[in-house]
Amino acid sequence: MGCKNCCSICLQCLFGYETNVMLVINNKGVGALFRLIQFLIIAYVAVYVCWIQRAYQDTDSVISSVSTKVKGNILTNTSIEGVHVWDVPEYVIPPQGEKSFFVLTNVIPTPGQTQSKCPEIPSLVTKCESDSDCIEGQTEVHGNGVQTGHCVQYSDTIKTCEVQAWCPLENDTIIPKPALLGAAEHFTVLIKNNIQYPKFNFRKRNLLHHINSTYLKNCTFDRKTDPHCPIFRLGHMVTEAGEDFSVMALKGGIIGIFIDWNCDLDFPERFCIPKYSFSRLDNKNPENNVAPGYNFRFAKYYKNNKSIETRTLIKAFGIRFDVIVFGMAGKFNIVPTIVNLGAALACLSLVTAICDWVMLTCMKDHDQYAKRKFIHLNQNGDSVPLSSMETTSYGTP
Amino acid sequence: MGCKNCCSICLQCLFGYETNVMLVINNKGVGALFRLIQFLIIAYVAVYVCWIQRAYQDTDSVISSVSTKVKGNILTNTSIEGVHVWDVPEYVIPPQGEKSFFVLTNVIPTPGQTQSKCPEIPSLVTKCESDSDCIEGQTEVHGNGVQTGHCVQYSDTIKTCEVQAWCPLENDTIIPKPALLGAAEHFTVLIKNNIQYPKFNFRKRNLLHHINSTYLKNCTFDRKTDPHCPIFRLGHMVTEAGEDFSVMALKGGIIGIFIDWNCDLDFPERFCIPKYSFSRLDNKNPENNVAPGYNFRFAKYYKNNKSIETRTLIKAFGIRFDVIVFGMAGKFNIVPTIVNLGAALACLSLVTAICDWVMLTCMKDHDQYAKRKFIHLNQNGDSVPLSSMETTSYGTP
Amino acid sequence: MGCKNCCSICLQCLFGYETNVMLVINNKGVGALFRLIQFLIIAYVAVYVCWIQRAYQDTDSVISSVSTKVKGNILTNTSIEGVHVWDVPEYVIPPQGEKSFFVLTNVIPTPGQTQSKCPEIPSLVTKCESDSDCIEGQTEVHGNGVQTGHCVQYSDTIKTCEVQAWCPLENDTIIPKPALLGAAEHFTVLIKNNIQYPKFNFRKRNLLHHINSTYLKNCTFDRKTDPHCPIFRLGHMVTEAGEDFSVMALKGGIIGIFIDWNCDLDFPERFCIPKYSFSRLDNKNPENNVAPGYNFRFAKYYKNNKSIETRTLIKAFGIRFDVIVFGMAGKFNIVPTIVNLGAALACLSLVTAICDWVMLTCMKDHDQYAKRKFIHLNQNGDSVPLSSMETTSYGTP
């Protein structure tokens, strides 16, 4: 009998189904409250969690590769350089067409610089009366060279400290206005963007499938008429960013080209399309700013007839376009689904707690409910005191 | 008595342990169903959530820094340039060795360009009969300069509009075939990659600890024999990406070098090793494409004997290699563990709901079960109607 | 009666409130255990989940744009080049001021290279006795050109294979010590960083609102006195990274400038400020390393009097500064809140399970408890066996 009994207990444990004993109260108030809160929680899960936040999805961040290609030519006619046609290799820096490209819009050239000595550009700290005002070997943070210790004539009336430097020095106090290459707003740029979501093994390009080569050769991006054309007019982008190209061209700036690849991969692949937006990234507020705009200096090096190295220094103002690709893809996954479902279910248990509290405190008959709901058992379980026993002795009239 | 009573009620509230009253039903069907669903949920949590998805882990995204260094020399012998040896500073652009580097594979050079006037390259829009066909000041999108308004002889039979430009113009209609620097497939590149997961204060390099300098000086990456060698043969990478180097070298393209740093940081640090993969990123499908391949133009500037600026324009075709580092690290954290455990537990409560439903509808004895499970109590709790009372009066034979 | 009855059953289902029947046990031990575990779980949720991990927040990754501008001049006096002042366009490569910028600290120049033939730099593989040791057309991985097949005098005592290359070859065996541009540690760099969290529509710059232009023109970053100044002294950054600038300047290296934008957006925007830190990213351990330090070669191209292309090859050693922007922003969101709250609630149900187990096994009166907690019902529900019936017949004295 021993083993047989043992087995039967085990089986009873395994297959004996345990379920809660419930007290059903036909109280319309509490019942309605109960159903209302239940409904609210289920509605929250269905509408907000599932529909709006898509919390049943696993997510992945975008990985991206970008190449860019600018097109356009500009003719300028200046007193220094004469007639000059600027083409892409001259005004796009660096020329490789990476995801951050710079388009020259304004230029201060300083041709014929050689390593030699010349007077500094006049400023509060460089003006001098005699050699004793200049310190040999000193370099000013905003200066252009290393002081030789001499005080020399800069012009008929002004004396400044002499520096060893690439001379003649650049004088960038006067910025050409209007911008030399202000016509750059008519240039176009082709942006090729290839993205992938490695977790979902999903790849796509911004040259969408339904677009053919003929269309691509002639289109320009327009939010309404050509929202999928990957060719952008520079002026259009700057305007969409809320800026005036001719003003921005003077001192330069940074424009962000945002490509948003947020995708719901539970839908077919063709619904996953990039959204373009543009905004200015640098600070144009002059209040808390230093070195406003965007500029840098570079040089072209030559050797003159006597084999001495000379260079043309170019202070380049222009617009840097940063292509910034971002996005999250979501796809149904059982883990976040279970997590959100489970959490919502757990919250349903809160409903019972709230309704119990209402029932046991606010209701007229709360004593009756409590008597039925709670079965009291004292510490010395075998002898139940009469008073508490009575409250639980329902079923005996 | 008041306060003493009060205290005892408080204590009773605090230390009175409340537990559900359970109905145990020895029905093998429902019991088996109950245990089965319980088992399935627990198995799901153990196997899928914990083991496969590692949902008990907190995650962090990789932060990475890359430097690259290409090695190799090529000798070319062309009618224009004669014998020429190409070394790294000439064919790697930009030279700094950043995470995106370009290797020249094909070249259309146009030496001796100066700012002057010359006839346009013939095309549908540039051919002309007389000056009236050319508009002074106009720039074609695909043209090379700004029209002067004159129609001039391009060759004996063809007349085209004259342009102000860097002349002579580049003629890129014929691309050298085979690619001038097709031997670039034998070049090698050393990729140094340093990553960190800031949340876990974890740092690592792709030069693994167990690799010594001697090995590094002679190895090349091979998925089977040398999977941890950070030196890659360009041709090998292109082959692994499923492309033919000699074809790709003609017009260029973009190859992604993916370094996958997905790591389970609950394991020792030595198991966290990078996985390399390669794929082509640009679109080689000619159907919906524009400007296929990868090329850009740059120029070397000279001054000739008369101090006039001349330049050698180079249309550079080649392969851009983008090193793309990605990955997520996971490490045990109590928050996601609790969340997933809690969610699974909450789902277990669903099991009871399902089994209750089965028990109360499908079972032969569902009336009996319902009578035992539910204790009905009417709104006017003090007077329980006899009929419903009877169903709950178990315990009285 | 049919329909009326039907409706009343439906209403009863809808508004009949179901609540668990509870057994209250006045056992201080189990009660205390129950309350203790409950308290621990609630404390964990309140302190750890909410306060420390901020698990009630939705998160977003930072999107960033960086521009940099280096300032400073250095005078060098070498036997080859004489007195030379280096300014920004010469020592910052590339000059555009992107988020990764290289500052030249040491230089091996090789002026006057032309395409010609010359003996290789002596090494184990390039030394030769006769022409038969040299293979025409071969290129050594670490060589500088393509072998012509001839063995020629390198110096009075050494013969090496002749190569077609840019001659004379660079000899980089001796690195200038101390570094030519070691004074670069006094240079400063202005870093402008613009970030956004697209999910929360939050944008900010590292030029904080309360900082004015006057302050910006004179400050330098210091962790204690000027923690928000975006102008950094190169030497200071290298020191904070735990390196010696003069040592690092010799062979170069990579320094990471980390900008941490971790923000709690439930607080006002002014509390979201960047934290700067610096560390060395490349491997300085010589054991498992190849090509230590950081260097690359670039060339300046000239045409000499006879219009032959010559170049000055420059092996550039220096420090690459990588500005690495990272961070996560968190903001209150109902979904993660519900998920974490629900999960914690679900875990509370574990408490009951644990306490039940303690009560039903460890307690003296566990038989009594079991009798009261479980109501047994056999498969043939209508005839409950007497034995099990008796255990549930509490309430009848």
> What digits encode the pLDDT tens for the residues B358-371?
878 887 777 877 88
| A218 reaches B (C-beta below 8 A) | no
Question: Hey, are the CB atoms on A24 and C18 less than 8 Å from each other?
Answer: yes
Instruction: Return the residue of B nearest to C323 by Cα.
Output: B65
Strands A57-61 and C22-25: unpaired
Tokens, residue C362: 């460890």
Interface of C with A in 137-156 (CB under 8 A): none
Contact C166, C199 (CB under 8 A): no
* Mean pLDDT, all residues of chain C: 84
Chain pair B-C, CB pairs under 8 angstroms: 239
Of C85, C334, C396, which is closest to A166 when you measure between CB atoms?
C85
pLDDT at residue B382 is higher than 50: no
- Categorize the per-residue pLDDT at A242 as very low, low, confident or very high, splitting at 50, 70 and 90: very high
Which of C310, C316, C313 lies closest to C299 in space, CA to CA? C313
Determine the pLDDT at residue A9: 67
| ipTM metric | 0.83
- Categorize the per-residue pLDDT at A12 as very low, low, confident or very high, splitting at 50, 70 and 90: low
- Categorize the per-residue pLDDT at C52 as very low, low, confident or very high, splitting at 50, 70 and 90: confident
Determine the pLDDT at residue C298: 93
Kindly give, in sequence order, each residue whose CB lies less than 8 Å from that of residue C276, ignoring residues fewer than 6 positions away: C221, C223, C227, C232, C257, C258, C259, C260
Determine the pLDDT at residue C392: 37
Q: Which of the listed ranges A2-11, B106-115, B204-213, B379-388 does the model predict with the highest average pLDDT? A: B106-115
pLDDT at residue B345 is higher than 90: no
Determine the pLDDT at residue A395: 38
Average pLDDT over residues B178-184: 91
Which candidate in B70, B71, B77, B96 is best for mutational testing of the C interface (most C CBs within 10 A)? B96
CA–CA gap between residue A241 and residue B394 (Å, rounded): 77
- Categorize the per-residue pLDDT at C257 as very low, low, confident or very high, splitting at 50, 70 and 90: very high
Would you say B303 is a known binding-site residue? no
Which candidate in C45, C281, C391 is best for mutational testing of the B interface (most B CBs within 10 A)? C281
Question: Hey, are the CB atoms on B290 and A96 less than 8 Å from each other?
Answer: no
Instruction: Return the residue of C nearest to A337 by Cα.
Output: C339
Question: Hey, are the CB atoms on B207 and C25 less than 8 Å from each other?
Answer: no
- Categorize the per-residue pLDDT at C13 as very low, low, confident or very high, splitting at 50, 70 and 90: low
| B369 reaches C (C-beta below 8 A) | yes
Q: How far is C218 from chain B (nearest CA, A)?
A: 31
Determine the pLDDT at residue B5: 66
Question: Hey, are the CB atoms on C63 and A24 less than 8 Å from each other?
Answer: no
Question: Hey, are the CB atoms on C324 and B216 less than 8 Å from each other?
Answer: no
Binding-site residues from annotation of C: 69-71, 188, 295-297, 315
Owner of token pair 């047989």: A4
Contact A219, A90 (CB under 8 A): no
pLDDT in tens, A274-318: 999 999 998 877 777 777 889 999 999 888 777 788 999 999 999
Chain B residues in contact with A352 (beta carbon < 8 A): none
Would you say A320 is a known binding-site residue? no
Determine the pLDDT at residue B114: 92
Of B19, B83, B345, which is closest to C23 when you measure between CB atoms?
B19
Contact A320, C117 (CB under 8 A): no
Percent residues over pLDDT 70 in chain B: 91
Of B282, B291, B303, which is closest to A194 when you measure between CB atoms?
B282
Of B19, B65, B349, which is closest to C373 when you measure between CB atoms?
B19
Tokens, residue C201: 């529509």
Of C32, C102, C352, which is closest to B15 when you measure between CB atoms?
C32
Quick check: bond before C168 cis, omega within 30?
Answer: yes
CA–CA gap between residue A120 and residue A165 (Å, rounded): 9
Determine the pLDDT at residue B264: 93
Question: Hey, are the CB atoms on A25 and B396 less than 8 Å from each other?
Answer: no
Which candidate in C96, C300, C367 is best for mutational testing of the A interface (most A CBs within 10 A)? C96
Question: Hey, are the CB atoms on C382 and B368 less than 8 Å from each other?
Answer: yes
Chains with ≥3 Cβ pairs under 8 A against B? A, C
* Mean pLDDT, all residues of chain B: 84
Rg (CA), chain B: 39
Chain B residues in contact with C163 (beta carbon < 8 A): 85
pLDDT at residue A136 is higher than 60: yes
**C383-388: long-range pairs with CB below 8 Å, 24+:** C384/B394
CATH fold for domain B62-108+183-299+318-329: atp-gated p2x4 ion channel fold (2.60.490)
Which of C321, C322, C314, C282 lies closest to C176 in space, CA to CA? C314
The least confident of A88-92, A179-183, B77-81, C89-93 is B77-81
Longest Cα–Cα distance in chain A: 125
CA–CA gap between residue C247 and residue C245 (Å, rounded): 5
| B302 reaches C (C-beta below 8 A) | yes
Average pLDDT over residues C90-109: 91
Determine the pLDDT at residue B34: 83
What is the SS3 string spanning C122-184? Answer: CCCCCECCCHHHCCCCCCCCCCCCEEEEEEEECCCCCEEEEEEEEECCCCCCCCCCCCCCHHH
Question: Hey, are the CB atoms on A376 and C24 less than 8 Å from each other?
Answer: yes
In angstroms, the Cα distances linking A30 to A348, B243, C16 are 15, 71, 8
Of C19, C217, C334, which is closest to A352 when you measure between CB atoms?
C19
Chain C residues in contact with B369 (beta carbon < 8 A): 377, 381
Question: Hey, are the CB atoms on A365 and B381 less than 8 Å from each other?
Answer: yes
Average pLDDT over residues A322-334: 91
| A17 reaches B (C-beta below 8 A) | yes
Average pLDDT over residues C126-130: 88
Average pLDDT over residues C138-158: 86
CA–CA gap between residue A179 and residue A218 (Å, rounded): 28
Would you say A69 is a known binding-site residue? yes
| A220 reaches B (C-beta below 8 A) | no
Q: Where in chain C is the domain with CATH 2.60.490.10?
A: 62-108+183-299+318-329
The least confident of A171-180, A264-273, A359-368, C374-383 is C374-383
Question: Hey, are the CB atoms on B96 and C290 less than 8 Å from each other?
Answer: no
| B194 reaches C (C-beta below 8 A) | yes
CA–CA gap between residue A323 and residue A190 (Å, rounded): 12
Beta bridge partners of C117: C164
Determine the pLDDT at residue B4: 63
Interface of B with C in 37-76 (CB under 8 A): 61, 63, 65, 67, 69, 71-75
Interface of A with B in 249-288 (CB under 8 A): none
Chain B residues in contact with C94 (beta carbon < 8 A): 94, 96
Q: Which of the listed ranges A93-97, A186-190, B126-130, B214-218 does the model predict with the highest average pLDDT? A: A186-190
Contact A198, A261 (CB under 8 A): no
pLDDT in tens, C179-212: 999 999 999 999 999 999 999 999 999 988 888 8
Question: Hey, are the CB atoms on C141 and B71 less than 8 Å from each other?
Answer: yes
| Residues making up chain B, counted from first to last | 397
Determine the pLDDT at residue B250: 93
| B80 reaches C (C-beta below 8 A) | no
Strands B159-167 and B146-153: antiparallel
Chain A residues in contact with C78 (beta carbon < 8 A): none
| C337 reaches B (C-beta below 8 A) | no
The least confident of B98-107, B118-127, C363-372 is C363-372
pLDDT at residue C23 is higher than 50: yes
Q: Which of the listed ranges A280-289, B166-175, C78-87 does the model predict with the highest average pLDDT? A: B166-175
Chain C residues in contact with A322 (beta carbon < 8 A): 65
Chains with ≥3 Cβ pairs under 8 A against A? B, C
Which of C122, C109, C130, C120 lies closest to C165 in space, CA to CA? C120
Of C22, C297, C384, which is closest to B89 when you measure between CB atoms?
C297
Chain pair A-C, CB pairs under 8 angstroms: 236
Beta carbons within 10 angstroms of residue C274's beta carbon: 22
Kindly give, in sequence order, each residue whose CB lies less than 8 Å from that of residue B173, ignoring residues fewer than 6 positions away: B121
Chain pair A-B, CB pairs under 8 angstroms: 238
Of B313, B322, B355, which is closest to A89 when you measure between CB atoms?
B313
Average pLDDT over residues A78-105: 89
Determine the pLDDT at residue B396: 36
Binding-site residues from annotation of C for ATP: 69-71, 188, 295-297, 315
CA–CA gap between residue C321 and residue C233 (Å, rounded): 12
